Structure formats: C-alpha cells, structure tokens
Amino acid sequence: MPEGDSVWRTARTLDAVAGRRVLRGDLRVPRHATADLAGATVLGTGTHGKHLLTRFDDGRTLHTHLRMDGSWSVLGPGKRLPGRLLPDLRVLLAVDDGRTACGLRLPVVELLRTADEAEVVGHLGPDPLREDWDEDEAVRRLTARPERPVKAALLDQRLMAGIGNLWADETCFLRGTSPWTPVGEVDVRGAVRLAARMLRASIADPRAHQVTTGDPRPGRDHWVVGRAHEPCRRCGTPVRVVAEVPGDAERRRTWWCPHCQPGPGPDALQARSAARSVRGLGC
C-alpha cells in the first residue's frame, strides 16, 4: 500500500487539473454511476494520510483511496487511455484544457459534500504532511496503549496518519528499537519527530523519495527494508524478516537487525496472545 508521501505525490500529479472546469466526469462505481460533475471546477486535491480529497467549487469532494492497486494519472491533450486499461477505469475527469485525470483500480470512490469530509477522514490521526500537523496529539494517541508494540502503533492510521510499513521499519531501526518493543518503553516523541522528518524529506526532493540512508542509488536507499539476509549497514549482522500474518493488523511483514535493535522478537506477540487467552480462561 502506498505510504503517505507517495499519496501526497499523487495529489501533486492531480494538481495538473486544478483550476480547470470539468467537461466530462465519470464515476464508474455503482454508488455514483449517475453523478454528474460536468461544469464544476476542480479546486485542488488535498491528502490526509493515505486518503485523497479532490475538491470542486460546487461544494463537493471526491474521496479516493489507492490501497494496494489503485493509481491516478493525468493524460495530456489528445492522449487517450490504452484500451486494455479501460476495464480498470473508475474515475475519469476530462477538463477544459484537454487534459484527462484517470483513476484506475481505485477500491474507494466516494462523492460527498466537502462539509462532510470528516465522515471519511475524521478518524485519522495527525499527518506530518499537513499544515495542521500536531506532534503533541500524535504522541498522546500513540502512548494511550503503552503495552502495544511500537511498530503496530506507528502503523495505526488513527494515531498518526501517513506512516506505512517502510517508514515504520526504518524508524524503528534508526531509533535502535525492536519493532515489538512496547510503546511504554520507547521514546515515542523521538520516534514521531524522526518519522515526520523523513516523510517531509521524501516529498522535498524527487531524488530523495523514500530514501532513508541518504544514498539514492538502487539497493542502497534503505537500512533494513527489502534487505533480508543481507549484512546490516552498521554492524554486519544479517538483516532478518518475518512474514505478514494475513488478517492480523499487528503482524505485518517486518525487517529488522537483531543486533542494532535489541528487544523482543516477533514471538513476543504470540506469547502475549497466549497469555491473554489463559487469563481469559481463568487459569
């Protein structure tokens, strides 16, 4: 799933149609198949975490989410989407300068009043890429459950929006903490500041997109993510990876260096789960 910085870049792609009047607007989803966007002017596209909010001057907002497979692109005047992609088209916005914004394989397409945006993003935590970023609120939310593993907390969009798997793993490595360390044992403010700083750096320079090592060359851009069994760049210990457990939000695929990130391992989650089950049985 794209992380908050990638979604922010997608919004900047959609800036190409900002300020333009819609000549044809198709929402190819059952719920909004009859909606008519023609005549509305695109005000711009904002983001909150991994959510995209394209606003129009008629008081409506198009809410979309990429999840794993969705994408947006803008075609120049005279350009047409290849026929093989037409079955994947969910949103088409043809504007008055000849450009066309195309949303493909979008799993979430909702048209709502701009005044009601909180219905779809109001549950999200503070986002470091928004002007209303609130570090104190992010720290407060993250520390509300001190027993929760720090990586799982960082990935919870209700606590801090925009952090995905890559940023959570790289943050844990750079902070020298195991991803399964309870939040209550972590310098949460330090982790929040680091994650926010990396997200902002990722959008500031196209060459630095999702580069955490300072070296943008392929294969050298991350400390641990995607480097299973390769030597840690700091200590030489083989980087480890544990697979995702489908359906369990607390168990995402995780890369880490067991030497540079001392603390509990992935088996800690299973042990805690077993302990809770025993307590539940009254044993």
Predicted confidence band of residue 94 (pLDDT cuts 50, 70, 90): very high
Token code pair at residue 33: 């198949």
Given the residues 3, 126, 148, 266, the one annotated as active site: 3
> Domain locations in the chain?
4-122, 135-266
Cα–Cα dist 223/236, whole Å: 12
pLDDT tens-place string over residues 104-118? 999 999 999 999 999
Cα–Cα dist 263/22, whole Å: 55
Quick check: is 135 catalytic? no
CATH of 135-266, one of 1.10.8.50, 2.30.30.60, 3.40.1360.10, 1.10.10.10: 1.10.8.50
User: What's domain 4-122's superfamily in CATH?
Assistant: MutM-like, N-terminal (3.20.190.10)
Token code pair at residue 15: 């800036």
Nearest to 1 by CA among 94, 86, 107, 133: 107
Contacts of 238 (CB under 8 A, 6+ apart): 229, 230, 231, 232
DSSP H/E element including 278 = helix 267-281
Predicted confidence band of residue 250 (pLDDT cuts 50, 70, 90): confident
Given the residues 148, 151, 240, 251, the one annotated as active site: 251
pLDDT tens-place string over residues 2-43? 899 999 999 999 999 999 999 999 999 999 999 999 999 999
Average of per-residue pLDDT values in the chain: 93
What is the mean pLDDT of the segment spanning 234-242? 98
Whether 256 contacts 171, CB under 8 Å = no
Nearest to 258 by CA among 233, 228, 238, 243: 238
Predicted confidence band of residue 206 (pLDDT cuts 50, 70, 90): confident
Quick check: is 151 catalytic? no
Quick check: is 3 catalytic? yes
DSSP H/E element including 193 = helix 188-204
Nearest to 145 by CA among 158, 133, 132: 158
Which sign, positive or negative, has the C-alpha torsion 210, 216, 217, 223? negative
Per-residue pLDDT, 2:
85
Judged by DSSP in three states, 274 sits in: helix
pLDDT tens-place string over residues 79-88? 999 999 999 9
DSSP H/E element including 111 = strand 108-113
Quick check: is 279 catalytic? no
Token code pair at residue 271: 């042990």
Please check whether the two domains, 4-122 and 135-266, share a CATH topology: no
For residue 276, pLDDT over 70 is answered with no
Nearest to 170 by CA among 227, 112, 93, 88: 227
Token code pair at residue 111: 């048209």
> How many Cα atoms occupy the beta-carbon half-sphere of 136 within 13 Å?
0
Distance between alpha carbon 19 and the CA centroid of its chain, in Å? Answer: 26
pTM for the model stands at 0.90
